[in-house]
Amino acid sequence: MTTQARSSRPGPRRTLTEEEIMGAALDLLDEGGVNAASVRGIAARVGVAPNAVYTYFPDKAAVVKAIVEHLLGQVDLAVFSDRDVPWRQRIESLALELRERLTAHPGAVNLMIGGPMDGPRALALNEHLMETLQDSGLDAAEAAKASYLLIVYVFGSIALETAELGGQRGGGSEGERIASRLEEFSAIPAGAYPLSAGAADVMAGYVSTEQYAWGLHKVLDGITRT
């Protein structure tokens, strides 16, 4: 066999894992938003042909669903397992961890709220949440409604916060973002908008952990009020 014939043989086939695909998809989301995380983009990032990605995921919708499940899989649902811990504390721990995980990948937040969260991990999250709400004294129907209310608050708050980042990672620290917002709100004309101008420092803190926790406490207070 000639040297030319040997050199024309294809090299070893690239082995691809779902973990690599998810890592590439999240990187693309962080860098360029939802449109960047296409099957072709993912394939290019990991150095394979698009068909290799299609082996794992038939279309982009399947990739999106897998990303949601991947991120939810990083959330520690064990927080729900210790029923000696007060129910409110369990929910607050979950809500704060969700915010931390999702603000680390701003581009993924719209994926969470853009379609049904019906994968195994999403269903497990909702199941544990409803169970914990029943521990507060709610019946099954009330717990289901309260679970939805909490999901709307948590993901809605995170979506508004990450919208300022334009779906991109690296928008500065929380303190830096608050300071930037305060500078903008300080220019509100007090004569035309006196209430807004007077609350500029409060509105600047809408993206803070303190505001997020404050709203969460108010929602939980309302849920359990008879």
The pLDDT tens digits for 152-173 are 999 999 988 888 766 555 567 8
Distance CA 226, CA 221 (A): 10
Distance CA 123, CA 134 (A): 17
User: pTM higher than 0.85, yes or no?
Assistant: no
Spell out the domains of the chain, with CATH numbers in brackets.
76-171 (1.10.357.10)
Task: Return the structure tokens found at 19.
Answer: 């973990």
The answer on pLDDT for 62 being more than 90 is: no
155 by DSSP, 3-state: which? helix
What share of the chain has pLDDT > 90, as a percent? 47
Give yes or no for a contact between 189 and 163, defined as CB atoms under 8 angstroms apart: no
Q: pLDDT band at residue 9, thresholds of 50, 70 and 90?
A: very low
Residue 90: other Cβ atoms inside 10 A: 21
CA nearest to 206, candidates 177, 183, 226: 177
pLDDT for 82-109, tens place per residue?
Answer: 888 999 999 999 999 999 988 888 878 8
Phi, psi of 56 (to 5 degrees): -95, -35
Phi, psi of 119 (to 5 degrees): -80, 170
Task: Return the structure tokens found at 93.
Answer: 């721990």
